[in-house]
């Protein structure tokens, strides 16, 4: 089977590690939004690649670990920064780092 992907491309390259741009972060979503799969959540999921999702029963939220071009690059061994996604009534969407 012939593919157009060069043999030297590895999964780390696809996630940004090969280019040096490790844009990883974490964010929390109320479980109710995830159950409804709201439009806002769909837009966020379209802007990032989720690597891990965990339901946190004690606060009824889902913690997502993801990579996105909207996150700042982090160094190897650095803790994942936490982000909050913001929405406006005009349809604008952006994230802001709240703590590292």
Per the structure, the count of domains in the chain is 1
Query: Is 28 domain-assigned?
Result: yes
Query: Is 63 domain-assigned?
Result: yes
Query: Is 4 domain-assigned?
Result: no
Give pLDDT, residue 38.
Answer: 84
Q: What is the pTM of this model?
A: 0.75
HEC-encoded secondary structure of the chain: CCCCCCCCCCHHHHCCCCCCCCCEEEEEEEHHHHHHCCHHHHHHHHCCEEEEEEEECCCCEEEEEEECCCCCCCCCCCCCCEEEEEECCCCCEEEEEEEC
Range of the domain at 43: 23-99
Query: Is 16 domain-assigned?
Result: no
Query: Is 11 domain-assigned?
Result: no
The average pLDDT across 55-60 equals 96
Query: Is 87 domain-assigned?
Result: yes
Query: Is 14 domain-assigned?
Result: no
Convert the pLDDT of each residue in 7-48 to its tens digit. Answer: 554 445 545 445 558 999 999 999 998 889 888 889 999 999
Give pLDDT, residue 2.
Answer: 53
């Amino acid at each position: 089977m012939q593919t157009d992907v060069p043999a030297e491309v590895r999964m780390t390259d696809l996630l940004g590690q090969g280019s040096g741009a490790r844009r990883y972060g974490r964010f929390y979503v109320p479980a109710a939004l995830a159950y409804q799969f709201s439009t806002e959540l769909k837009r966020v999921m379209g802007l990032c690649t989720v690597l891990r999702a965990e339901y946190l029963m004690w606060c009824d939220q889902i913690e997502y670990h993801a990579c996105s071009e909207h996150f700042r690059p982090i160094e190897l061994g650095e803790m994942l920064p936490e982000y909050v996604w913001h929405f406006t009534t005009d349809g604008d969407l952006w994230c802001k780092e709240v703590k590292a």
